[in-house]
Structures are given as C-alpha cells and as structure tokens.
Amino acid sequence: MAIREILTVPNPVLKEISQPVEQVDDALRALMDDMLETMYEADGIGLAAIQVGVPKRVIVMDLSGPEEKAEPKFFVNPVLSDPSEDKRPYDEGCLSVPGYYETIERPEKIKLTYLDYDGNEVEEIAEGMFATCIQHEMDHLEGVLFIDYLSRLKRQRAVQKVKKFEKEKGRDAA
C-alpha cells in the first residue's frame, strides 16, 4: 500500500469525468487500498479516485468515528437514484479544497447501487451523513466540486485560499 498525492484546486484534472471500471481485479483493489490509506492519512471520510489523479469511477469511504473500529467501504461504478424531497444541510469540506468549509444542502436520502471490493453488486439506501458523503463523492466522478454550488465570488475566494495555503506549505518544505 502507498500514500498518493491528493490533487487540489485549481488542478484541471479534478474537472475530468471519470470512466466506468471494466473489472474489479487485483490491480483495482491495489488502487482502492492506496486510496483508503491516503484518505486515512489525510483525516478524510471519503475519497474519489480522481482526487489522486485516476479518472476511474471508484470511491472509498469510512464514516466511523476516530475512537471506533474502522469501517472501510468501497464503491465501484456507483449509481444514485430516487433522491428524497427532504434536504439535509451540512458544513462540507473537501480534501481537494483544504481549509475551506461551506454549508451545502443535498437530498437526505438516496438509493445507491455499486460493485463492492470483491466485485459483487450491492443495492442500498444511503441516509444522513452517508447520503451527504456519497453525493459529494459522486460529484467528483462528474468533475464537480462542492464549491461549484457556491456563488462565483465565494468559489474564487475558496480557490485563492487554497493557493495561498499551498504556497506557504511549499515555503515551509523548502
């Protein structure tokens, strides 16, 4: 397993549309293992493959708390349907927009089908934090970031904040 670099805005790769996976094989599982390790190291709760520069429809997630037993989840070729009318607001963040948070409203409940780590078909209903997170991750597969739902002014501020942060980080490393 290896930790991979997480791409941040305004990297244009984050706008790419990810392509369906043809086979859940050992090579794909190696990617998913790397993604999970990268997500844990960054203290994230979800990660889409495009965030490490791989345009495949793959998501990893772990919604367990820091004191709880790890609950890694893997989603290959996920499809969402039947979103609820009820919305859930949540103060979202993104590892590709580090240090910036904003409230986003999304359907509070949604149906989900995908292939798991072993390539088995799964169908389930996502609610609450699971629903918020899977929709945030699904957006990444379409090249959409949560800041794309904000006004242009707020989005530009978010990107500027990340650029400044990255610049200072680079200086520290030097």
Please identify which residue in the block is written with the tokens 């990255």: 166
Q: Other CB atoms closer than 10 Å to residue 135's CB: what's the count? A: 20
Residues 73-112: x/- map of binding to Ni ion (CB under 5 A)? ---------------------x------------------
Report the alpha-carbon distance of residue 157 to residue 47 in Å, rounded: 23
For ligand GNR, the binding residue among 8, 9, 18, 46 (CB under 6 A) is: 46
Does position 92 bind ligand GNR by CB under 6 A?
A: yes
CB distance 38 to 59 below 8 Å = no
Tokens matching residue 160: 């500027």
Contact 72, 62 (CB under 8 A): yes
Among 73, 106, 140, 155, indicate the residue that binds ligand GNR (CB under 6 A). Answer: 140
CB-closest chain residue to ligand GNR: 44
Q: Quickly count helices (H) and strands (E) in the chain.
A: 3, 7
**Which of ligand GNR, Ni ion, none does residue 93 bind (CB under 5 to 8 Å by kind)?**
ligand GNR
Candidates 53, 72, 83, 93; binder of ligand GNR (CB under 6 A) is 93
Shortest separation between residue 174's beta carbon and ligand GNR, angstroms: 27
127 is catalytic: no
Least gap, CB of 59 to ligand GNR (angstroms): 8
| Cβ proximity of 106 and 40 under 8 Å | no
Compute the distance between CA of residue 64 and CA of residue 145 in angstroms, rounded to an integer.
Answer: 23
Contacting residues toward ligand GNR, per CB under 6 A? 44-48, 51, 90, 92-96, 132-133, 136-137, 140
